[in-house]
Homo-oligomer: A and B are copies of this chain.
Amino acid sequence: MSGDAQISRLKPGRRTDIRRENERAILEAAEKVFAEAGFGGATMQLIADMAGLPKANLHYYFATKEDLYRRVVQQIFEIWLDAATSFDDAPGPVEGIGSYIEAKMDISRTHPHGSKVWASEVMHGAPVIQDYLETTLRDWTNGRIAVIQRWIDEGKMQPINPRHLLYMLWATTQHYADFGHQIQTLNDGKPLTDKQWREAKASVRDMVLRGIGAI
């Protein structure tokens, strides 16, 4: 944990805004702390400090540490689901999978903390979001597998196993968030520049699309 600056907290304004603004600041701080320390290593005190609130105030908005954690995990899950819309209404794998990769790479750059929290949650056996895996994610996966299978049947790509293609998409894109520290270290300790991010996206896109015989 480095000496990070305090998360910005805007002026409260109206009564309704107070709640929304404080919840937002808490969630933003929590996402960062959970990502950097894990659920067990994170402390409510640290989250409170980063959000610029007394610890007792956190428990006013979120009853328990687990409640707060659950909300953070749900957030990234919904962001990822949204990113998949491009998948469906695409004529073929080049557009569908290509844009999905781009979207997920963008999220890895803009929401690295959320990605890490998700990864941590799944690695620990998904104690909090197991039901999501068994319902929403399972349905989503089966839907996408059907789309990919259709593209295969239409001869638009090689007859690969759609399931393992999905795993490859998740693995390669999220790697840039979850292992961002390792990547940065191997990049002479400096974060990837805009140009390097474009190259990363293009590399992943090209290798995957060529890998499935779509280009």
> Taking beta carbons and an 8 Å cutoff, which residues of A are in contact with B?
1-2, 35-42, 116, 119-120, 122-126, 130, 133-134, 137-138, 141, 158, 160-161, 163-165, 167-168, 170-172, 174-176, 178-179, 181-183, 185-186, 189, 199-200, 203-204, 206-213
Contacts and interface: CB of A to CB of B under 8 A. Distances in A.
Given A119-B119, A172-B172, A175-B171, A38 B40 contact: yes
Given A126-B185, A134-B185, A138-B186, A178 B210 contact: no
A123 B179 contact: yes
Nearest to A161: B203
B203 A164 contact: yes
Number of copies: 2
Contacts of A35: 123
A182 B168 CA distance: 13
Given A38-B40, A41-B40, A170 B160 contact: no
Contacts of A41: 38-41, 124
Nearest to A207: B211
A213 B208 CA distance: 11
A185 B138 contact: yes
A204 B208 CA distance: 11
